[in-house]
Structure 1
Amino acid sequence: MLFDRIIARYKTSRPDSSPEMDLMRMQGALGVVAILPFSVWRFIQGEYTLGLIDLLIVIGMVILVALSGNRAYFRLVSLLFTLVYTVGMLTVTILKGADMLFWSYPTAVAGFFMVRLREALIISVLSLLALSYIVLDELGWLQLFSFQVSYVLVCLFSSIFSVRMARDRRRLSQEATIDPLTGAYNRRSLDDDIEKAVSNYQNRKNAVSLVLFDVDHFKQINDQFGHATGDIFLQRFVDFLKGMIREEESLYRFGGEEFVVLTNGGLEDALSLAEQARGLLEQTKLISGHYVTVSVGVAELGEIESAREWMKRADDALYRAKHSGRNRVCQAELPVDWAMIKLEELTADND
């Protein structure tokens, strides 16, 4: 159905706090502070239609601000939010005439920071055409042209500023979450995503696992070929791992030559990935004339386990792999509480 397609198109995820969400909340607060008094005053003056319109605008904005907490549909809510105050501005202009044109400028500016550029441009163009038609008989051609030019300039400057702000925000986000050498996610992203994985598991019981890779004797590469070659190897190693993991899985640089894959699956799937990567790498020359191997530790998240405990079990498994000959995969021991739960389940099944 068309409605379902629209919902799917605008279903997206937003962080708990974002510039768009903060702006929506600020506009909702301003709507109450700035528009609600006009509504009350118009009711007092007997202008019931305008008062009702202002009141509906405020109510619509407040409701949508409340709905913005649903991050999955934030894009749809932000579009509806923009349409509410845009339609409200047009309605007031229809009823009061050219005296209300000044409301078109903040409405246009806000739109470029609430929705995507193409959507904001479409809304602005349609608003300009509608406003020009509404006040056509009230303004002279020169006044109308002056308004159109000023409105276009406001939209132009707003679009440029919003695009630059979005670009800078993406750049800063990448610098905060991406390892600059390899392009893998960094340690900060790993810590955040592990915490999310633990929270999601506790809520939905989805199996997730950690796969820790440590490049064997990486120091020899730097000593023999130089640090520049070592950097090239790390970049190629990340590309090698990215080619093996699924699109929804993530790769992180944990340390100098240590990398982590957060997999969607249980221990068996994680062990399969680890062994496949280990076996293929020992037959692949990522740098000319030199084979490199990896030691791998694997741990599935336990039912009663914190992010720190989960990471420590995976790291302990990696430690065993390195100190039992390298170029091998070791799985983590089950957490004590989880092992007891599994034992109780097996005992119950046997009974």
Structure 2
Amino acid sequence: MLKRLKTDFRLSIITILGTSAFLGITPFAIMRFVQGNLVAGAIDTAILVTIFGGMAYAWITGDTRRSGMVLAFIACSGAVAVAATVGEVGLFWLYPCLVTTFFLVKPRIATVLNLCSIAAMMAQREVFQTQVQMWTFAATALVVSATAFAFAQRTDNQRERLEQLATIDPLTGVKNRRAMDEELILAAAHATRTGLPYALVMLDIDHFKTVNDEYGHGVGDGVLVDLVSLVQQHTRQSDQLFRYGGEEFVLLLPGVDGAGLTAVMNNLQHSLRTKLKHPGGAATVSFGVALLSAGEPVENWIERADTALYRAKEAGRDQVVFAEAKSSSSPGLLMASPG
């Protein structure tokens, strides 16, 4: 649980909002019921139930975008409703809501929501004792919103940069192994829901250590960058390339199997064979290919592709080897395509 709170910023904000709502609103709800102010107590209770429902939805589904949108709307509209019910003291509930919205939804949406909330509050003129008090409220609410906007914008930019550093390989610009693990889990779940075929390709540059030893790591890095460029040129936008480690990459191909997959791999092999170069001549690549079997764990899927790549190396390199579908009665035999 703590790990999710550390890695999911919006979920942590939703959880803080739920905890704060329980600690801050519950006593007032109880007090209003005791005092006989049933309407205000019912509003407080409805706000609490909605916030806890949104928090539970976020934790169960991981969909913090929708739950954040609902919670931002409920928090602001609830504060306006409380002010309309209890009067001037309800104004203070809007200020924390104006800040929180910027951490629950995108800044543009939060800005619109805050402006609407401030306008709705000012429309209730009976809440304010004087015109000066009303315009003072408007000015301070706008200052709070502007400050929260600037802070949230800066935080979003920093978070995006950190996420990019955590998931993008700095040399080649493709996603790294950490991002690959997440994408393969999503792909397996999507395949289970839709029946769409997914192929996993592990590719490794042949004799890459020799290139580094003879020509230097700078040249080796250039070969890696060229490989990525060529693979991206000869695959679809829906295909995803990841750097698995060193000179080894993983290519995720959705929606291809059978003869179509064979054609894709033969075309990719031919393109790399003819266009990937280093100072000593052409560089070749070995491929291990595995189609995702029904209900297969992601770890087994990767292992079958890796084993197929190993067989391609054993067969003389510059080969495409397909792993047979895994079944309870089959050991997963391998079949090599023509080089």
Correspondence for 1:215: 205
- Normalising by the residue count of structure 2, what TM-score does the alignment of the two structures yield? 0.84
Q: Residue 323 of structure 2: which of 332, 335, 346 is its match?
A: 332
Correspondence for 1:311: 302
**Corresponding letter in the other structure for 1:134:** Q
- 1:67 & 1:309 partners in 2: Cα distance? 31
Correspondence for 2:174: 184
Query: Which moves more between the two structures, 67-76 or 106-115?
Result: 67-76
What's the secondary structure of 2:249's corresponding residue?
strand
Q: Residue 284 of structure 1: which of 275, 280, 300 is its match?
A: 275
Q: Does 1:296 align with 2:273?
A: no
Is this contact kept in 1: 2:290–2:301, CA < 8 A?
yes
What's the secondary structure of 2:25's corresponding residue?
helix
What's the secondary structure of 1:337's corresponding residue?
coil
Is this contact kept in 1: 2:168–2:174, CA < 8 A?
yes
Q: Does 1:129 align with 2:119?
A: yes
Correspondence for 1:104: 94
Correspondence for 1:229: 219
Q: Residue 80 of structure 1: which of 67, 70, 95 is its match?
A: 70
- In structure 2, do the counterparts of structure 1 residues 305 and 73 end up closer, same or farther at CA, with 3 Å as the change threshold? closer
Is this contact kept in 2: 1:271–1:329, CA < 8 A?
no
Is this contact kept in 1: 2:29–2:45, CA < 8 A?
yes
- 2:274 & 2:314 partners in 1: Cα distance? 22
Correspondence for 1:162: 152
CA RMSD of aligned residues (A): 3.1
Is this contact kept in 2: 1:108–1:155, CA < 8 A?
yes
Q: Residue 138 of structure 1: which of 113, 122, 128 is its match?
A: 128
**Corresponding letter in the other structure for 1:294:** V
Once the two structures are TM-superposed, the CA of residue 157 in structure 1 deviates from its matched residue by 1.9
- 2:13 & 2:117 partners in 1: Cα distance? 21
Gaps of 5+ in 2: 334-339
Is this contact kept in 2: 1:302–1:338, CA < 8 A?
no
Once the two structures are TM-superposed, the CA of residue 340 in structure 1 deviates from its matched residue by 7.8
Instruction: Give per-residue Cα distances to partners, 1:90-128, cap 9 Å, x unaligned.
Output: 112123333222111101011111111111000111122
Is this contact kept in 1: 2:88–2:128, CA < 8 A?
yes
Query: Which moves more between the two structures, 276-285 or 15-24?
Result: 15-24
Q: Residue 266 of structure 1: which of 257, 266, 276 is its match?
A: 257
Once the two structures are TM-superposed, the CA of residue 189 in structure 1 deviates from its matched residue by 2.6
Q: Residue 94 of structure 1: which of 84, 97, 106 is its match?
A: 84
Once the two structures are TM-superposed, the CA of residue 225 in structure 1 deviates from its matched residue by 4.2
Correspondence for 2:56: 66
**Corresponding letter in the other structure for 2:301:** W
Query: Which moves more between the two structures, 187-196 or 73-82?
Result: 187-196
Q: Does 1:153 align with 2:155?
A: no
- Normalising by the residue count of structure 1, what TM-score does the alignment of the two structures yield? 0.81
- 1:137 & 1:317 partners in 2: Cα distance? 73
Gaps of 5+ in 1: 1-13, 343-351
Is this contact kept in 2: 1:320–1:330, CA < 8 A?
yes
Q: Residue 47 of structure 2: which of 45, 54, 57 is its match?
A: 57
Correspondence for 1:321: 312
What's the secondary structure of 1:283's corresponding residue?
helix
**Corresponding letter in the other structure for 2:175:** Y
Once the two structures are TM-superposed, the CA of residue 70 in structure 1 deviates from its matched residue by 6.0
- 1:89 & 1:333 partners in 2: Cα distance? 61
Is this contact kept in 2: 1:35–1:54, CA < 8 A?
yes
Query: Which moves more between the two structures, 107-116 or 226-235?
Result: 226-235
Once the two structures are TM-superposed, the CA of residue 211 in structure 1 deviates from its matched residue by 0.7
